[in-house]
Structure 1
């Protein structure tokens, strides 16, 4: 079967529609604007992204109780829908047992550190904390200058379901894309990304 030809104009139009940049949503549909997560780097880029996609967005939208903050792709802070946080954390969990064990070890260290430092803000374990976010057991709040973090129970979502749905959201928001690009975005290995694309083969154009 011959792959369809997709030019730049059609790809950009698809992305605009998929990410709600063609028509702003009403405020009650706020979380739909973050279906693929919104990076929240300085100066509150998640709020700027919401303004571009949703009507009448307040400056405090990133604190809306329907959202949470997590460390997402490539260690960046992301604002994601609270009821989909499992996909945006567990979805990055590698299939490789060694890499997965490293993340789980980091998550256990984070729990120990949090017990010692109840105020939830520290520079200790900072790099390890970002990696451990894929365990689903960390939540953060970045206010523009300081990052608070705390531990939570892991989501109940199946890891494979989370991986596949995360890849679907990625492709819907920035597709067309290759396994190489997905591996870079997700900070995962190329074999892992290729396996994900293979599982989604029947859904891809």
Structure 2
């Protein structure tokens, strides 16, 4: 991962960092101040803590903005040809790209995260035994053959487990899904399932054991749940720190008390910090081996971040990253970040942007909050050009209001 380093004249780790210091470190760790060298796609995805991929073009853009010369095709090649990335259900049970070599770490950690209470009626839920049975069936089915569509997998799971798995109890976009589908992301978290290549417009699922190459980096990753969870805390704080246990809990969609206990279990590996912007008594933590903050934060960088970019989703406090109008325009009603495509300046949301694609043409609209300078517009134009390169399109840029709704 990128490291800010301990430059001469840097601010001592024990001194209270300011907001600009924290933003500078996070931007560096995310390769958003200076992109990583070409060919480091898995390293970049690791530093992000995974790239949100519910909207695949957004994941391609997130990775491309952080890596020199990378296009969407490079990300696709890493995923489907080189298989150095894997598409699976990651933090919060949402679709992510993760480094393939680190999948054992992620499955060990995510399988041990307490699941939030189901919103389904008790009569519609899977119990623990049924969940285990479905996961075991999925693992066996996918190890046996080629990638399957969800309908093909559904038929096979029901045949192995029984008619109860077919009960249409889960509300879906159209109609109802069968009961077993509640365990789909659980199967991924336990290492039984990942995404395979699309078959036409249809998603497929496959077994990581069949799909992914064996470890090639020579680095053992912890598969013990306790060790894996501790490593996940370290990685989160390296990329998003300083942070509170509840920030980590929100990132994983996990209970706050559990996260507080997990932080405490790391003992002297973590140190409490009191940034200038922190609320008194609201403890924030960083890794005890963090170097000094840079004496002079780098000049503000302009970035056009896509939907659910990892930097926006994982960073806290929300109200500082989304100052003024940004909170109203870029956050959901529940305070969720990433539901819009955001223009950031120095790590803070300073506008919105929208894209509309037609073949090879990409029309970009950018709305900047407040007064914009000629220099700021030139920086946006440079970013728009990079977005076009990543998405392999001929772009046009218009400055004006963005009317697109939030992606929920």
TM-score > 0.5 by shorter chain: yes
1:40 maps to which residue?
53
**CA 1:4–1:192: 2 relative to 1, 3 Å:** farther
* Structure 1: runs of 5 or more not aligned: none
Is 1:25 aligned to residue 36 of structure 2? Answer: yes
The Cα offsets for residues 9-30 of structure 1, whole Å up to 9 and x where unpaired, read as: 1221111011111111111222
Could you tell me which of 204, 215, 237 is aligned with 1:171? Answer: 237
Is 1:139 aligned to residue 194 of structure 2? Answer: yes
Q: TM-score, normalised on structure 1? A: 0.81
* Partner SS state of residue 88, structure 1: helix
Contact 2:112 2:225 in 1 (8 A): no
- Deviation, structure 1 residue 93: 2.1
Is 1:148 aligned to residue 204 of structure 2? Answer: yes
Aligned length: 199
1:1-205 mapped onto 2 (5 Å cutoff): 5-35=16-46, 36-60=49-73, 61-64=75-78, 65=82, 66-94=84-112, 104-111=132-139, 114=142, 119-122=147-150, 124=154, 125-141=180-196, 146-153=202-209, 157-205=223-271
More helix by proportion, 1 or 2? Answer: 1
- Deviation, structure 1 residue 104: 4.3
> Runs of 4+ in structure 1 displaced over 4 angstroms?
101-106, 112-119, 142-145
**CA 1:201–1:52: 2 relative to 1, 3 Å:** farther
Moved more, 78-87 or 131-140: 131-140
Contact 1:46 1:62 in 2 (8 A): no
* RMSD of equivalent CA atoms: 3.0
**CA 1:81–1:117: 2 relative to 1, 3 Å:** closer
CA–CA separation in structure 1 for the residues paired with 2:197 and 2:19: 36
- Deviation, structure 1 residue 112: 5.6
Contact 1:73 1:186 in 2 (8 A): yes
Contact 1:94 1:192 in 2 (8 A): no
Q: TM-score, normalised on structure 2? A: 0.43
More strand by proportion, 1 or 2? Answer: 2
Which of the two has higher C-alpha Rg? Answer: 2
- Deviation, structure 1 residue 68: 0.9
**CA 1:63–1:166: 2 relative to 1, 3 Å:** farther
**CA 1:163–1:105: 2 relative to 1, 3 Å:** farther
* Structure 2: runs of 5 or more not aligned: 1-13, 118-127, 155-179, 210-220, 272-408
